[in-house]
Each structure stands twice: as C-alpha cells, then as structure tokens.
Structure 1
Amino acid sequence: MKTKIFTLICLLSFSQVSFAYQDEIDKFFSLYESGKVLEAVDSIYSSNKWILQKKDDVQHVKSQLQNLNSLVGKFHSKVKLGEEHIAERLYHITYLALYERQPVRLEFVFYKPEENWVIYSFSFDDEIDEELQKFARDKIAGYNVGS
C-alpha cells in the first residue's frame, strides 16, 4: 500500500513539474498560431525578469520570428520532438514547426532555481539538414545491423 501511495505522489509531482513549463509553451504556441508573434515572444520571456535587461536581444528575436513567414511560408503545425532534463531543474524541450517551405526547430530551455520555472533560453533555427541526415543514416544503419 505504501508503495502505491509513493508511486502516486511521484507521478503527481512529476506531472506538476511538466505542466508548469508546458503551460508556458502552450501559451506561446496559442499566441503564435493566432498570428500574435510579438505577444508570443513577450509571453515566453515573461517568466524571467532578467531577460528584460536584454531588450535589444528580445527585439532581435521578435523581428526574426516575425519575418520567418516571409522566408519559409505559412505556419501549418508543430510537432514535439522531445525533451531532456537535468536533475529536474533544467528542461530542454524541442519542437519542429512545420511551414510551407521547410521545418524550423524551436528550442525552449526552462530553469527552476527555486520554486518557479523560468525561461532560460528560447531559440529557433532552420539549420537541421545535417542533423536530420545523420539521424536517418544512424536509424537506417541500426535497422540493418539487427537484420
């Protein structure tokens, strides 16, 4: 009985951990998908008071993200590729945003210094060709080895 209660408590606390930063990501994508790019960037950075000291950097991210549609076309959807964590204090979450022309990788890193999660970094890039090729080759080689 104690094991079941302990397991339940662990599962509930893990869910609260993931929901805390996932809510921030969901809010970002909700704003972004509705065309509110600037608000989406403000939203994702709102949890970290230190980011506000880097107004030029934030403005640069806003303008790049706002101009993304002119480079890669219309945004269609997103796919969560995965997440990794270190000691339940640092979470790196990666999404693939699917645009008309090509996919774009979005990376969110959240940090929990005390009780609350804060955004540590947010970035995006379209430099994933080599990684996709390596991933596919490793996967194909792995399938051939076991055959």
Structure 2
Amino acid sequence: MKFTILTTILLLLTSFNSFAYQKEIDKFFQLYEAGKVTDAVDSIYSTNKWILQKTDDIQNVKTQLQSLQSLVGEYHGKVKLGSEDLKDRLVYVSYLTMFERQPVRLEFVFYRPKEDWVIYSFSFDDTIDDELTDFSRKRIIGWLKGS
C-alpha cells in the first residue's frame, strides 16, 4: 500500500514538472490574447535569468510581435501543432496562430537543467506555408513512386 501511494505521488510530481512549461505557454497566450504583447514576452522570458541579460534582443522581439497585427491583420486564435521532448530535458512546442492575412508559427523551446523548466528560445515566422508545400510535394512524389 505504501509503495503504491509513493509511486503515485512520484508519477504525479514527474508529470507536473514535465508539463510546467505548458503553463508558461498558456500564460503567454492569455496575455497575448488580452492585447498585452509586451507582458506576454516578458512573461515567457521571465523563466530564464540568462536571457533577461539580452535586453536588446528581447526588445526586438517585443517590437516585431507588436507590429505583427499591422502586417497580417486581426488575430483569430491558435492551434497547437505539436511538441517534441528530448529525454525530459529539452522540449520544442509549435503553435500555428491564425491571422486574417496568413498564419504565423510560434515556437517555444524549453530546457530543464535541474528541476525547473526555463525558456531556451522563443521565435515566430511566417514560412510555414513554404514548408507545408515542400513537405506535401515530397509526400506526393513518395506516394507516386510507391504506386
């Protein structure tokens, strides 16, 4: 009985710790969707004291993300494309955000050097349509060869 309780507690703690980065992403989107773009960027970077030393880079991200709506139109939501975990130490999470003019991909990479997850990198781009085209062409060619 004690073993079962201990095992359950350990699994819950591991599970909680493994997905702590998702709480940071959710907080980012909550702020972003409320129109608080700079707060969203500050929030996601607040997990890593080393990145905070790159104030010019962070300001550049804030400026670019703030001007995004003027380039691609109104924000209409997000879809999680997926994630990839490397040995519960490094995780990549990708989102597709929908704007009036075009989609934009947001990418979060978190690193866990000890117990806590910290943001390792955050980026966004609008090249996902090019990648989708290339991927689709390769799949179609592969299917044609297999026929």
> Which TM-score bucket, shorter chain as reference?
0.7 to 0.9
Q: CA deviation at 1:17?
A: 3.7
Change (3 A) 1:10 1:101: farther
Counterpart residue identity of residue 16, structure 1: F
Distance (Å, rounded) in 1 between the aligned partners of 2:146 and 2:77: 34
SS of 1:35's partner is: coil
Q: CA deviation at 1:145?
A: 6.6
Change (3 A) 1:70 1:112: same
Change (3 A) 1:143 1:20: same
Aligned residue pairs total 145
The equivalent residue for 1:90 is 90
Contact 2:18 2:88 in 1 (8 A): no
> Which residues of structure 1 form unaligned runs of 5+?
none
**Alignment partner of 1:128 is 2:135:** no
Distance (Å, rounded) in 2 between the aligned partners of 1:63 and 1:102: 19
**Percent of counterpart pairs with the same letter?**
66
SS of 2:136's partner is: helix
Contact 2:17 2:115 in 1 (8 A): no
**Alignment partner of 1:48 is 2:51:** no
Distance (Å, rounded) in 2 between the aligned partners of 1:99 and 1:64: 15
The equivalent residue for 1:60 is 60
The equivalent residue for 1:16 is 16
**Alignment partner of 1:79 is 2:42:** no
Distance (Å, rounded) in 1 between the aligned partners of 2:25 and 2:73: 22
Distance (Å, rounded) in 1 between the aligned partners of 2:138 and 2:14: 32
Distance (Å, rounded) in 2 between the aligned partners of 1:87 and 1:37: 32
SS of 1:136's partner is: helix
* Aligned alpha-carbon RMSD (Å): 2.5
Which stretch of the first structure deviates more once superposed, 63-72 or 80-89?
A: 80-89
Distance (Å, rounded) in 1 between the aligned partners of 2:99 and 2:7: 41
Q: CA deviation at 1:54?
A: 0.3
Q: CA deviation at 1:31?
A: 0.2
> Which residues of structure 2 form unaligned runs of 5+?
none
